[in-house]
Amino acid sequence: AQTVTQSQPEMSVQEAETVTLSCTYDTSESDYYLFWYKQPPSRQMILVIRQEAYKQQNATENRFSVNFQKAAKSFSLKISDSQLGDAAMYFCAYRSGSYGGSQGNLIFGKGTKLSVKP
């Protein structure tokens, strides 16, 4: 079964600086999808960025970018020019590229709590 590990329970960054959140996963598949979700105090999980495993190019969304290392099964999230509104729980998630049954469900890590200092 696939697993997702976020080894940093908490992280802190100074406003306007850059922070990297780590995520590793375990899978025997070659086709899959990876996601980063943000959960602010409002509790709604918001999709931050998505990566398709068969694409070598790292996904970017404005200040958010990923470092996808397929061989190392690593999927870290870099937040540039951190803002106070970036403070939240961040969850890494994996989805199999297979269809049907439970293979299509998202598997989440335990999350990293990010604090942003003014």
Partner 1 sequence: ETGVTQTPRHLVMGMTNKKSLKCEQHLGHNAMYWYKQSAKKPLELMFVYNFKEQTENNSVPSRFSPECPNSSHLFLHLHTLQPEDSALYLCASSQDQAGLYGYTFGSGTRLTVV
Question: Closest CB to partner 1 among 7 and 14?
Answer: 7
Question: Closest CB to partner 1 among 100 and 118?
Answer: 100
Decide: 28 and 9 in contact? Cβ < 8 Å. no
Ordered DSSP codes for 62-115: TTEEEEEETTTTEEEEEE-S--GGG-EEEEEEEEES--SGGGGSEEE---EEEE
User: Closest approach of Cβ 38 to partner 1, in Å?
Assistant: 11
Question: Closest CB to partner 1 among 3 and 14?
Answer: 3
- Contact residues for partner 1, defined by CB under 8 A: 4, 9, 33, 35, 37, 42-47, 50, 91, 93, 95, 99, 101-102, 104-111
